[in-house]
Structure 1
Amino acid sequence: MNDVERAITRAHQDEWARVVAGLTRRFDDLDIAEDAAAEAFAIAVERWSRDGVPPNPGAWIHLTASRKAVDRMRRENKRDDKHKHAQLVYENVPAEPVGAIDDDRLRLIFVCCHPALAMNARVALTLRMVGGLTVAEIARAFLVTESTMGQRITRAKAKIKAARIPYRVPSDADLPDRVSGVLAVLFLVFNEGYLATGPHADPVRADLTAEAIRLTRLLRDLMPDDGEVAGLLALMLLTEARRASRISVDGELVPLAEQDRGAWDAVLIAEGHRIVRERLAAAAAGVAPGRYQILAAIGAVHTSARDMRDTDWSQVLALYDQLVTLDPSPIVELNRSVAVAELDGPEAALATVDRLEKSLSDYHAFHATRADVLRRLGRTQDARAAYDRAIDLAGNTAETASLRRLRDRLR
């Protein structure tokens, strides 16, 4: 990656969400805002390669996008009041109040997670506008096709426009109705950073995991009594603690059972365990834990074991049983089957996994889990076929390399 590419990448990460949200507020048109931002970055690729990177890349992007938005509005003969809005771009407009949230990016996530939209739609739209994820990455997170996700985002934009849903700064009273969507966005951004889904992406994107943790810490400061906010932070910390041991020197994804636990970040683990203990105390006092708190508790069990063989699988299974009642999704059932295999044997796990085939037939982790269970049952030919299917569906090269190694070890 050359200097121009690095500068454009940094500008995109830092400025895309602010440019789109700012133009949307001023022009009341999300499509124009996104198109103008995209055009500004396209021009940057051409001009910066020729003329060099400007002294202030962010300001350059903002100004170029603003001008392109004005040009488009004029071309489309928008109403007179729209022209007045366009002129505000070039005037010294007083800064808008930040409301309850000081951080720009966290505030934008709350702005976009409007409760008038269905949960999946608001999360997908926010990931696109603020999270910086591509439509393909968002589609893989939701286990749908790219075209389906593109249509979902387009419909969300259309509903915003038709219902005239305001992009306004949320007040303290707005936060509880929006926090579940915000947590889902942060969780999915973290997941994309922890194991990127794209075939050509770096396996681990530390910039995304760090940003997700930073924003979740801010959210916890903002809503200290929300158990799910605390649970998500603990889950992220306990997962991030294992990052250094997840990719081998050969560029392969390292399974949990083979990771060097001495390389795990003890500071992050201690902080995550402390939060989990706090939430367990709250549960003992009658406050039922939510999805993220249970996932964090599962992470705490794994990071408490000095060796894979020391893992308290009965506790893991009990937690998954609790999670299934809150989130009876196929992926939760698939993850639960790993604990079933450890406690009740691979044959019982295979029965659970095979029931999920219709829902997860295009999900690489389903076939990888099934391959491992078949291997343990001695069904080598079936395991090889399952690994082949997982390799065909896997995302990044590190995961593909790991699956190939597991397949090639079969005898």
Structure 2
Amino acid sequence: MGVPPTPLRQWGSISRAKRTVSGVRFDRPGDVATVLRVLYLVFNEGYSGDVDLAAEAIRLTRQLATAIDHPEVAGLLALMLLHHARRAARTAPDGSLVPLAEQDRGRWDTKAIAEGVEILQEALARDRLGEFQAQAAIAALHADAPTAEETDWVQIVEWYDELARLTDSPVVRLNRAVAVGEADGPRAGLAALAALDASLPRHTAVAAHLHERDGDLATAARLYAEAARKAPNLAERDHLTRQAARLNTRRCR
């Protein structure tokens, strides 16, 4: 997300989303997909800046869900709720990023998770799978795990396979490599990663994580430092720099 948007830019994003939701026609196949992508972009911007864009994006998606009966609208709403439920645990008191595996799950919003899962289940029951439903299914599996160690990574890989089939997205395949590394071991994850373009955003960070899991701390530390230099924002850069320093400290003991 680069430079955090100013409040003025954020309100501009909200206004554009509102115009999109209120002014679009839904009688052509591409219309719904366009609106959903706009709303998801607004939601993702909501994790930076001073205006709560994420909550506003959820409100607008609820509005859209009342206007049109579409499983992908429900899928996006479920996805937003499931991600938003973890928001309080995503950063430490000093503002640093907290990886999903290290988050305090007691701080997750269980009401939002329950609502997201219910909406998703109803959408999936219609057997018209789309990319937002598949993303929401992955988020639901993370939310359902009592601990990081109990995450159903095998099923997450299967959902990434579905998502890759639907989108043919390199970023999806990058995330799938992480899941494969958890389900089948880091070397399997590295093999999946080797098939992808090394210039992909966060490719180096994923490689660092998998090498650390495989016990190659020297390579992991070097890759974390390299990934930090490529990081798209300050919070991510600081997190990756700390990861490199942590491993270098371990190696020196």
Q: TM-score range by the shorter chain?
A: 0.7 to 0.9
Match among 135, 142, 167 for residue 295 of structure 1: 135
Report deviation, 1:206: 5.5
Query: Aligned AA for 2:100?
Result: L
Deviations 1:43-88 (CA, angstroms, capped at 9, x unpaired)? xxxxxxxxxxxxxxxxxxxxxxxxxxxxxxxxxxxxxxxxxxxxxx
Match among 8, 13, 35 for residue 182 of structure 1: 35
On the 8 A contact 2:21/2:64 being kept in 1, the answer is: no
Query: Aligned AA for 1:226?
Result: H
Question: For 2:213 and 2:18, how far apart are their aligned partners in 1?
Answer: 49
- The residue number in structure 2 matching 1:222 is 67
Report deviation, 1:221: 0.9
Query: Aligned AA for 1:255?
Result: P
Query: Aligned AA for 1:108?
Result: R
- The residue number in structure 1 matching 2:212 is 375
3-state SS of paired residue (1:357): coil
| 2:203 is the alignment partner of 1:366 | yes
Q: Which has the larger radius of gyration?
A: 1
Match among 89, 103, 122 for residue 278 of structure 1: 122
- The residue number in structure 2 matching 1:58 is none
| 2:245 is the alignment partner of 1:401 | no
The within-5 A match list for 1:298-337 is 298-337=138-177
When normalised by structure 1's length, the TM-score is: 0.55
Report deviation, 1:250: 2.1
On the 8 A contact 1:320/1:336 being kept in 2, the answer is: yes
Question: For 2:168 and 2:199, how far apart are their aligned partners in 1?
Answer: 12
Query: Aligned AA for 1:392?
Result: R
CA distance change for structure 1 residues 357 and 106 in 2, over 3 Å: closer, same or farther? Answer: closer
3-state SS of paired residue (2:52): helix
CA distance change for structure 1 residues 317 and 206 in 2, over 3 Å: closer, same or farther? Answer: farther
Question: For 1:17 and 1:390, how far apart are their aligned partners in 2?
Answer: 30
3-state SS of paired residue (1:253): coil
Structure 1 segments unaligned to the other structure (5+ residues): 1-8, 19-103, 112-168, 197-201
| 2:227 is the alignment partner of 1:390 | yes
Report deviation, 1:177: 3.4
- The residue number in structure 1 matching 2:3 is none
Question: How many percent of aligned residue pairs carry the same amino acid?
Answer: 48
Question: For 1:246 and 1:293, how far apart are their aligned partners in 2?
Answer: 23
Match among 161, 173, 193 for residue 27 of structure 2: 173
- The residue number in structure 2 matching 1:207 is 52
Deviations 1:133-191 (CA, angstroms, capped at 9, x unpaired)? xxxxxxxxxxxxxxxxxxxxxxxxxxxxxxxxxxxx544536x4311111111112212
Match among 217, 238, 244 for residue 88 of structure 2: 244
Report deviation, 1:293: 0.3
**RCO greater where, 1 or 2, for CA within 8 Å and sep 6 or more?**
2
Report deviation, 1:358: 3.9
When normalised by structure 2's length, the TM-score is: 0.88
Deviations 1:185-217 (CA, angstroms, capped at 9, x unpaired)? 1112212223x4xxxxx5xx5512112111111
Report deviation, 1:309: 0.8
Structure 2 segments unaligned to the other structure (5+ residues): 1-5
Question: For 1:10 and 1:308, how far apart are their aligned partners in 2?
Answer: 35
Question: For 2:25 and 2:236, how far apart are their aligned partners in 1?
Answer: 43
Report deviation, 1:370: 0.7
Report deviation, 1:337: 1.0
Query: Aligned AA for 1:323?
Result: L
On the 8 A contact 2:42/2:53 being kept in 1, the answer is: yes
CA RMSD in angstroms, aligned pairs only: 2.2
Report deviation, 1:277: 1.4
CA distance change for structure 1 residues 368 and 206 in 2, over 3 Å: closer, same or farther? Answer: farther
Aligned length, in residue pairs: 243
Question: For 2:233 and 2:199, how far apart are their aligned partners in 1?
Answer: 22
